[in-house]
Amino acid sequence: MDKKRLKLLMTKVAKGEITREAADRLIKPKKVAQNKPVGEIKGEDKKDSKIRKKTIKLNNTGG
Amino acid sequence: MAQNFIGGGGSVCLYAFEDMDGWLVAPASHTKSDETQVPFGQGVEVTISRSNNAERIYGVGARNATATINKQFGGTFTINGALSNAYWMLGVLGANADGGTTGAYTHTYTEANILPSFSTTTSFELGTTDFASDLIGCVINTCTISAAVNEALKFSLEGTYRYENLGTTKTSDIPDVEPIFTFAHGSIEMPDGTTIAAVQSFELTIVQNAEPVYGVGSRFMTGVVAKNREYNFTMTAAFNDYTDLLTYFMNGTSSATAPDAGSGTEIATLELTFTNDDGDILDINLTGIHLNEETLPQNVGEVVKEDVTGWARACTNIIYTNDVQTAPAAATNIT
């Protein structure tokens, strides 16, 4: 947010026209994780592979 | 180095808010503020006036005075300038709360019954021996903020001070770095949300009706009592709509067709907002507005302009927003 808008916003907070919490949300919107699948992906390698089975666990950030 | 005659450019005027405990001690012990001094603004002009209130004693037996006595010491100041910071508003309204966030700090000045005093140092670079004077116990009695087309926003502070210490150390100047507010930066809403178009000039005067209190045993003030407070304003606007001001004069609303039969209705609010080139904001919020006089001259050689005078009963707050986190505050150097 540019400085002029920020000063206007903070003046409105001081004046009681908006709450500080609302202003903070405008200044720095809360990061929301993208919707990624949660669960397990199971795969099976070929019979001659050293790792025969593999399970990838997904958390809610998809990592 | 010789002693020089100088212009005002060779002089400096800075101030800092004092510890109010200074009023509890004798004038000579009323120590000046140890807070960092700040400038009143840009384009500042200062007039300090001193009076011994002296009196010649006459009596029978001689036509000439037989003695002269000093009565109360009277020190007054008048400080004018282009409004670039509003820190002195603490001395006008009485209280401040800092807020905001990085890059946008607010200083919200609100009414208090006791007016914070400040120390003002005026100093002059004269050459071999400079001159400086610390004015102690400065209290603002009248503050005027005025604006007109093609002009900067201006301020004027008038008041009294208690005591004075002279010296020979010139203070280094601290130029104000805050940008000047101009009339072109302004907007006037009465009530809030209703912008008055084509305002030509506006002047707000805050009067403290402050009365110096003197007592037995000293020539110097023992205190300053701020009595009834007044917010008076005058406004001139180019005329193109009778509901901008005239109907408000009639009954406090935009829909009058005749003068109110009674005391009328107050206009809820009057807001003056100035935003300078840096985005700094001066937001003056008045409440309980009443228009007392209206003038609408018709002259073939002039644009028709409407003048009103009136007052506000109170000031909700004056918010000054800039890049500085902490506004100047009272010192605590007197025990």
Mean pLDDT of A9-36: 85
Question: Cβ-count burial of B306 within 10 angstroms (0-12 exposed, 13-18 middle, 19+ buried)?
Answer: buried
- For chain B, which residues make up each domain, given as ranges? 8-53+70-322
> What percent of chain B clears pLDDT 90, i.e. is strictly above it?
97
Residue A27: the pLDDT is 86
Could you report the predicted ipTM of this complex, rounded to two decimals? 0.88
In the prediction, which pLDDT does A58 show?
Answer: 61
pLDDT band at B152 (very low <50, low <70, confident <90, very high): very high
Say how many CA atoms lie within 13 Å of B332 toward its Cβ: 1
Spatial distance between the Cα atoms of B331 and B138, rounded to a whole number of angstroms: 14
Q: Is the peptide bond before A37 cis (omega within 30 degrees of 0)?
A: no
Output the CA torsion B277→B303→B243→B253 (10° steps).
70
Provide the percentage of residues in chain A whose pLDDT is more than 70: 44
Query: Which residue is closest to B323 within chain A, CA to CA?
Result: A7
Nearest residue to B229 (alpha-carbon basis) of B100, B140, B129, B332: B140
Say what the pTM is. Answer: 0.89
Question: Quick one: B286 exposed, middle or buried, by C-beta within 10 A (0-12, 13-18, 19+)?
Answer: buried
Q: Of B101, B275, B317, which is closest to A10 when you measure between CB atoms? A: B101
How close B33 comes to chain A (CA, Å)?
A: 28
- Classify residue B284 as exposed, middle or buried by CB count within 10 Å of its CB (0-12, 13-18, 19+): buried
Query: Has residue B320 got a pLDDT over 70?
Result: yes
Q: Is B259 on the interface with A (CB under 8 A)?
A: no
Tens digit of each residue's pLDDT (9 = 90 or more) over B20-47: 999 999 999 999 999 999 999 999 999 9
Confidence of residue B208 (pLDDT cuts 50, 70, 90): very high
Q: Is B276 helix (H, G, I), strand (E, B) or coil?
A: coil
Closest CB from A4, A11, A27 relative to B319: A11
Q: Which two tokens stand for residue B149?
A: 């087309």
Whether residues A7 and B322 touch (CB distance < 8 A) is answered with yes
Q: What's the token pair of residue B44?
A: 């500042």
- To test the contact with chain B by mutation, choose from A11, A12, A15, A26 the residue with the greatest count of B C-beta atoms within 10 A, namely A11
d(CA B100, CA B4): 47
Residues of B in contact with A8 (CB under 8 A): 275, 279, 281
- pLDDT per residue over B249-298, tens digit each? 999 999 999 999 998 899 999 999 999 999 999 999 999 999 999 999 99
Q: Is the model's pLDDT at B124 over the cut of 70?
A: yes
Question: Cβ contacts (< 8 Å) between B280 and chain A: which residues?
Answer: 7
Residue A28 touches chain B, beta carbons under 8 Å:
no
A3–B283 CB contact, under 8 Å: no
CB atoms < 10 A from the CB of B85, how many?
Answer: 27
What's the mean per-residue pLDDT of chain B? 96
Distance from the Cα of residue A6 to its chain's centroid: 24
Chain B nearest-CA residue for A6: B104
Alpha helix ranges (H) inside B220-283: 246-251
Cβ-Cβ contacts under 8 Å, A6 against chain B: 101, 103-104, 279
Question: Do the Cβ atoms of A8 and B101 come within 8 Å?
Answer: no
Asked whether the beta carbons of residue B283 and residue A6 sit closer than 8 angstroms, the reply is no
Rounded Cα distance between B74 and B161, Å, is: 8
**pLDDT 10s digits, B172-191:** 999 999 999 999 989 999 99
Q: Do A7 and B99 touch (CB under 8 A)?
A: no
Residue indicated by tokens 């506000």: B312
Q: How many CB pairs below 8 A link A and B?
A: 50
Q: Are B204 and B146 in contact (CB under 8 A)?
A: yes
> What is the signed CA dihedral for B193, B197, B199, B202, rounded to 10 degrees?
0
* Bigger pLDDT: B137 vs A27: B137
pLDDT in tens, B52-80: 999 999 999 999 999 999 999 999 999 99
For residues A59 and B43, the model is more confident at B43
Mean pLDDT of B115-143: 98
Q: What is the pLDDT of residue B32?
A: 97
The confidence score (pLDDT) of residue B335 equals 79
Strands B131-148, B163-167: parallel, antiparallel or unpaired by DSSP?
Answer: antiparallel
